[in-house]
């Protein structure tokens, strides 16, 4: 069934978040900090691996060459401008504040993390290459295997994030349903018009965006990463217009 991958992915996030909530109160702050450091390292390296995999090729003589660099830069710039124009980050903040007001309980200090958990988890689960390529494969070929793999990974990450962010992580499953579901539907109806090389470039840009989340988790610098989500779709526009 087309879309099964997204449904399983969202369910895994909810299940992982529920498990993480069981351990939330039992993890001291110093352990939460090392979890964020380790998670930031993992996310950053996944982004690097994604970029290298899509952009770097090795010839038979061992010489490395890179491709799509200019397209990646253009996609990031144009996508960032579009995201800023739309105000995706501000939208996330409004949703986060709304959730914080609705789900807050008097005297529960951990509720301040609900909004941040929703925004951070949404970007993390949506910006990766697997979300894009897996959804396209599900839509074009009816093959949800990559999204099933992503569901396992996201479920594990949800356990870790929920120990710090709480319910906000589970609520990000709604974003997955909308985001990956939309990509799957577009691929189902328009997949024949999108070459796989363009899909690879979308994965490249998505991996570059994923790297920025590492800096956020390390608390080095805060980026409006949500505004860069449209960048992953810019290779399609560049392909058709250029």
Q: How confident is the model over 72-101, as pLDDT tens digits? A: 999 999 999 999 998 887 887 777 677 667
**How many helices (H) and strands (E) in the chain?**
10, 2
Tell me: pLDDT of 110 over 50. no
**Among 164, 165, 130, which residue's Cα sits nearest to residue 145?**
130
What pLDDT band is residue 112 in, cutting at 50, 70 and 90?
Answer: very low
Task: Report how far residue 222's alpha carbon sits from residue 214's, in angstroms, rounded to the nearest whole number.
Answer: 10
Looking at residue 109, its pLDDT comes to 47
38-42, 142-146, 199-203, 235-239: which is most confident: 235-239
What pLDDT band is residue 13 in, cutting at 50, 70 and 90?
Answer: very high
Buried b (16+ CB within 10 A) or exposed e, 27-62: eeeeeeeebbeebbeebbebbeebbeebbeeeeeee
Percent of the chain with pLDDT over 90: 12
Lowest mean per-residue pLDDT among 59-73, 91-105, 170-184: 91-105
Tell me: pLDDT of 14 over 90. yes
The predicted model gives 215-237 an average pLDDT of 81
Could you tell me the CA-to-CA distances from 60 to 49, 66, 216, 228 in Å, in that order? 21, 15, 39, 36
Backbone angles phi, psi at 64, to 5 degrees: -95, 135
Residue that is written with structure tokens 């069981």 in the block: 22
How many independent structural domains does the chain possess? 1
By the 8 A CB rule, do 35 and 164 touch?
yes
143-147, 173-177, 191-195, 200-204: which is most confident: 173-177
Backbone angles phi, psi at 57, to 5 degrees: -125, 150
Question: What does pTM read for this prediction?
Answer: 0.72
Domain residues for 104?
A: 4-241
Tell me: pLDDT of 103 over 70. no
**Could you read off the pLDDT of 122-178 as tens digits, one per residue?**
877 886 667 877 888 788 878 888 889 889 888 988 888 888 777 888 888 988 999
């Amino acid at each position: 069934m087309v879309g099964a991958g997204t449904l399983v992915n969202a369910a895994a996030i909810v299940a992982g978040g529920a498990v993480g909530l069981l351990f939330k109160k039992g993890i001291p702050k110093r352990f939460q900090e090392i979890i964020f450091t380790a998670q930031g390292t993992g996310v950053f390296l996944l982004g690097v691996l994604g970029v290298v995999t899509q952009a770097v090729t090795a010839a038979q003589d061992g010489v490395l060459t890179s491709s799509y660099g200019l397209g990646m830069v253009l996609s990031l710039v144009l996508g960032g401008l579009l995201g800023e124009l739309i105000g995706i980050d501000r939208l996330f903040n409004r949703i986060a504040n709304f959730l914080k007001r609705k789900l807050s309980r008097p005297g529960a200090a951990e509720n301040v993390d609900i909004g941040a958990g929703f925004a951070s988890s949404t970007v993390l689960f949506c910006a990766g290459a697997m979300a894009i390529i897996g959804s396209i494969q599900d839509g074009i070929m009816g093959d949800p295997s990559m999204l099933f793999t992503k569901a396992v990974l996201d479920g594990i990450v949800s356990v870790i994030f929920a120990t710090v962010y709480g319910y906000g992580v589970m609520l990000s499953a709604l974003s997955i349903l909308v985001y990956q579901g939309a990509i799957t539907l577009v691929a189902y109806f328009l997949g024949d018009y999108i070459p796989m090389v363009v899909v690879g470039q979308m994965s490249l840009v998505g991996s570059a965006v994923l790297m920025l989340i590492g800096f956020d988790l390390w608390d080095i610098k805060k980026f409006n990463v949500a505004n860069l989500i449209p960048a992953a779709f810019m290779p399609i526009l560049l392909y058709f217009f250029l």
